Amino acid sequence: MADNRENKISETDGAAKRIALEKKDITKTYLYWQLFHRISQCFERYYGLGTCITLIPILKKLYPKKDDLSKALTRHLQTFMTDPGFGSAIIGLVAAMEEQKANGEEISDEMITGIKSALMGPSAGFGDALNSATMSSIFRALFIPFAVAGSAAGLLAAVCIFLWFNAVSYFSIHFGYSKGKSQMLEMLHSGKMKALVMGASVLGCFMMGVMTTSYVKITLVPEWTLSTGSVLNLQSTIDGILPGILPMGLTLGCYAYLRKGGKIIYAIITTIIIAVLGAFVGLF
Amino acid sequence: MNNMLLIAVGIGFVYYLAYMESPWVQYFFKEAIVIGAVVGLIMGDFKTGLMMGGNFQILYIAGVMAPGGNLSVDSQLACCIAIPVAMASGMGVEEAMVLSVPFGVLGVFLDNIRRTIMGFWTRRADKHALEGNTKAIMFDGIGGPLIFNIFLRWIPVAVIVYMGVDAATAIVNAIPEWLMEGFKVAGGMLPATGLALILVMLNKPMLLVYYVLAVVLTQLLSMPIVAAAVIGGVLAILHVTFTTKAEEA
C-alpha cells in the first residue's frame, strides 16, 4: 500500500488528478518536526501550533484550494502533546490520512482528530519512558565520567541522544505513514516492544547503581580512640559491613520519598539541609 | 569590563539556545555537559567548564521532565549561572552545585511565564489558519517566539551573569567556613536525588535489585564504565530472556 503511494506520479486521465505524497515530502515534514515543532509550546494547546507547522509542507501540497487548506490548518492547530521520538509516527499516520482525504476518500475531520488524540497518550507514555527517561539517561551515564575527567569525549552523550532521537523519529514517521491505526496500537502493546523497554530499564537501573558508587559521596568523620589504644573509625566500621551502604541508602531514601509523590525540589533542599547540619556537628 | 560583557552576552545566548525548544538544538543545549563545555569555552577554560558540566550532569541526569512536559527543575539556568560564577570565583564544583539549586527553581517560574504568554502566538495562528496564510503561521510558530525569547531568556541571563559574577565572588568570600564545608558535603550528596528521580521515572520497582547489585559490585571492584555497561547489558538480556521464557512456559 505504501509503495504505491510513494512512487506514484500524478495521473492525468481527464478525471481529477490524484495528489500523491512522495518520500521526500515525508522527509521534509520530518525535518520540520525536528526543527520547529516545540518552539511555540504553550499551556493551552501544547505543541498544537508546532504540529500544524510540521504538516504545512504536506497540507499545502494536498489542498491547493484555500478553503480546504484553511480547514486543514485549523484542525491541526488543536492540542497535541507527545514524545518527539515516536510522536512523529502519528504525524506520518496523519499525513497518510490527509492524503486519502484529499483524494476524495471518506475520512472525516473527527476521525483524524480522534486518532491523533487517541495515539498521543500511549505514544507519549511509551516514548518518554524509553527515549527521554531511559535511553537518554544511559547515554549520559556512559559519558559523564569522560566529562568529569576533562575529556571532550563527554560531549558524545549529547551526540548519542541526538542520533538516537533522530533515528527513532525518522523511522517512526515513515513507519506511521505506511501503517494503519490498528497496527500502530498493536505494535505499541506488542511483546517485542515490552521486552525492549524492560531490557532498557534493567540497564538503566544498573547504571544508576554504578553512578551511585562513583558520584554520591558520603564520608562519616567521627572516630574514637579506645582505651586499648586502637582507633575505631565509624566509616571503616560501616564499610566493613557493606561498602556503599550510605550512598545507596540516601538514593533509595530519595526514591521512596519521590515515589510517594514528593517533589524533587524538596528532596534537594532537604539533602542540602541534612548535609550542612551534619557537617556542622561533625558527622560528615 | 568589556570582556565580561562579551562573556555575559555569550552565556545568555547559551541559555537562549537551551530554551529555543527546537528539538535538534535541544538535544545538545539542554545537556549540562554541553552547557558546561560551551560556557568554559566562552570563559577561556574549556576543560574546567566541561568538568563542571559533567558533575552537574549527574545531579541533573534525569532531564527533569515531569509528566505533561512540566518542568520541575530548570537545570539549564542552574548551569548557566552557577558554572560561570564558580569558574570566576574559584568555587569548588560541589559548592557550585548547591548554588545552582535556587536558579533551578527560578527557572521553573520563568518557564511557566513563558508557556502562559506563548498562548498568544497560537491564538494569532488560529486567525491565520482561517485565512489559509501558511507564511504567517510559520512566523507565529517560529519567528515570533524566537524573538520573544530574546527578551525572556537571552537578556535576563546576560544581565545576571554580567552583574552576578563580581557580586557572587564577593559573597562567596564572605561565607563562613563551616557553611562552605557544609555545601561541599551537600554537593557530594545531591547527585543521589537526581539518580533517585531516574529510578522513579523507570517505574519498575522490582528492577531495583539490579540497582543494588550494581552498587555492591562497583564498590568492591573498580572497573571502567564501559565494562559496567556491558555487565548491565548482559544482565538486561538475561532478564528479558528468562522472564519471557517464564511467561511462555
Q: Which domain holds residue A276?
A: 218-280
Confidence of residue A181 (pLDDT cuts 50, 70, 90): low
Domain boundaries defined on chain B:
3-189, 204-249
Q: Do A228 and A128 fall within a single domain?
A: no
- A73 found inside a domain: yes
| pLDDT in the model for residue A80 | 83
Average pLDDT over residues A108-132: 78
By Cβ distance, the residue of A36, A60, A258 closest to B196 is: A258
Best mutation target among B98, B128, B135, B189 (most A Cβ atoms within 10 Å) is: B189
Same domain, A32 and A87: yes
Instruction: State the smallest CA–CA distance between residue A120 and chain B in angstroms.
Output: 11
How many independent structural domains does chain A possess? 2
Question: Cβ(A67)–Cβ(A148) under 8 Å?
Answer: no
Residue B172 has pLDDT above 70, yes or no: no
Q: Tell me whether residues A33 and B23 touch, CB distance under 8 A.
A: yes
Domain end marker among A208, A235, A265: A208
Among the candidates A179, A208, A237, a domain finishes at A208
More confident residue, A177 or B168: A177
B35-92 residue pLDDT tens: 999 999 998 889 999 999 999 998 888 765 544 455 778 889 889 989 998 888 888 8
CB A37 within 8 Å of CB A165: no
More confident residue, B78 or B180: B78
Q: Which three three-digit cell numbers place residue A262? A: 514528593
Cα B95 to Cα B98: distance, rounded to the nearest angstrom: 5
Nearest CA in chain B to A267: B193
Closest residue of chain B to A273, computed from CA coordinates: B186
User: A115 and A153: one domain?
Assistant: yes
A261 and A156 in a common domain: no
What are the distances in angstroms from CA B14 to CA A113, A225, A267, B77? 37, 53, 28, 10
Question: Do A196 and A249 have their domain in common?
Answer: no
Whether residue A96 sits in one domain with residue A147: yes
Say yes or no: A34 and A128 in one domain. yes
Q: What is the mean pLDDT of chain A?
A: 82
Listed by number, the residues of chain A in 80-99 with a beta carbon closer than 8 Å to a beta carbon of chain B are: 81, 84
Taking CA atoms, A86 is separated from A8, A91, A148, A197, in Å, by 27, 9, 32, 14
* A197 and A240 in a common domain: no
At B20 the three-state DSSP class reads coil
The residue of A67, A212, A220, A241 whose CB has the most chain B CBs within 10 angstroms, and thus the best one to mutate to test that interface, is A212
CB contact under 8 A, B62 and A214: no
Whether the pTM exceeds 0.90: the reply is no
